Structure 1
């Protein structure tokens, strides 16, 4: 039997590490990220190959053809592709400049769109699944966090359109949208507002990995298209 292959971007982030560890139980996982220390830790896990890459440079700006990323792009089959890489910094329309918009769109939208495009033949060959990590901000917006919310709205449109376009080719597409999750990204957003951060009040990254496992293990006749993962008690209700 051919070994199942998974590719995870943002593998060194708070969610990414748990996603990689869970998928490695049944797949050989290529863990993509920029933090070499964290990548080395992931590389110590069975069935995990760390890939050090800056996706904006190597993918969007046509990095070196001989890079590790190119090896992945040449794969004949990919069973699971998880887009977990993202950035979030709070901006209002007034405070965000063009570079802020472009930087967020590159990481949060352009990278997953281009990586998926390049891997579509391999996903089709495996009748694989593409998972886009979204956010509660993808269905609403905030006056002080408009750039991030706008990118996540765009990511919903990308995933939904891809799902419809690829259904006859056998590729399943899912959006998994966690609410506030215990990650360095969320801690940074709280720090911007000088708010107290209580990890026990938000979602464990392990639960996001479990939601992705649900999507990956769906039966052949179906696809789980939209999973919302919320804390037991919403932060606004505390």
Structure 2
């Protein structure tokens, strides 16, 4: 049985991964933005433990985690939470950029830094759920794509630095997936949302579990998941 710390377990891909791991009897630690959300997650995943830390304020994560029990070892750290705010480069102000970069790039970097000793101890696995926007940027997606391009660089650098410590690093690049964030994105785009057109979160969860379950003789560095219809 492994020990896994997951961000974004409240919905979408994160919830699908957490449920699959819970069904396997794995030991779950779920990061919540506040105490109220932590209580909700504990109710949704009986037996899981929760940590409170606001990804929108990465500078306070060290203080927050220093004032509560944390796992003493980790088999995986899964960065699944994220935010998206669309807008043209000429229209987006610094606050939009700061919110996006903080949640999608700085928080994963800081949480990884804080959890590296536990990951090194167990020769664990860091999974970054990136996005197709982390490989190709389109109009209106500048801030989000920049954060996700940065997340790819973070993963690549971490992989090179931690290979000798036995820590594996995987980036997953899903296309549009039927999640609450996708519904919000469609609303921002002014489009009708039809979840049947997009990837089921369970399919992305299967991809993530395949990566962490892979025998130690191999490592999935990058994997792209695209809608099949």
**Is TM-score (shorter-chain normalized) higher than 0.5?**
yes
Give the C-alpha shift of residue 40 in structure 1.
2.3
Q: Tell me, which stretches of 5 or more residues in structure 1 are unaligned?
A: 234-238
Task: Identify the residue that residue 103 of structure 1 maps to in structure 2.
Answer: 99
**Which residue of 1 is the match for residue 40 of structure 2?**
40
CA shift digits 1:106-142 (9 cap, x unpaired)? 1000010111111111101101000000001111111
**Correspondences of 1:87-236 after superposition (within 5 Å):** 87-233=83-229
- Residue 29 of structure 2 corresponds to 30
Candidates 5, 8, 11, aligned match of 1:7 = 5
SS in structure 1 at match of 2:29: strand
Q: Any conservation in 1 of the 2:7–2:81 contact (CA below 8 Å)?
A: yes
Q: Deviations over 1:194-238 (max 9, x none)?
A: 2111111001111111111001101111111111111102xxxxx
CA contact (8 A) 2:175 2:225 kept: yes
Q: Structure 1 CA distance, aligned partners of 2:198 and 2:2? A: 32
Runs (5+) with no aligned partner, structure 2:
none
Q: Distance in 1 between matches of 2:33 and 2:50?
A: 10
Q: Which moved more, 1:45-54 or 1:114-123?
A: 45-54
SS in 2 for 1:55: coil
The CA deviation at 1:56 is 3.6
Corresponding residue of 1:236: none
How far the C-alpha of 1:14 sits from its partner, in A, is: 1.4
- C-alpha distance in structure 1 between counterparts of 2:190 and 2:181, whole Å: 14
Instruction: Tell me the secondary structure at the aligned position of residue 143 of structure 1.
Output: coil
**TM, length-normalised to structure 2:** 0.91
| In 2, Cα distance between equivalents of 1:142 and 1:39 | 38
Aligned length: 226
TM-score, normalization: structure 1?
0.88
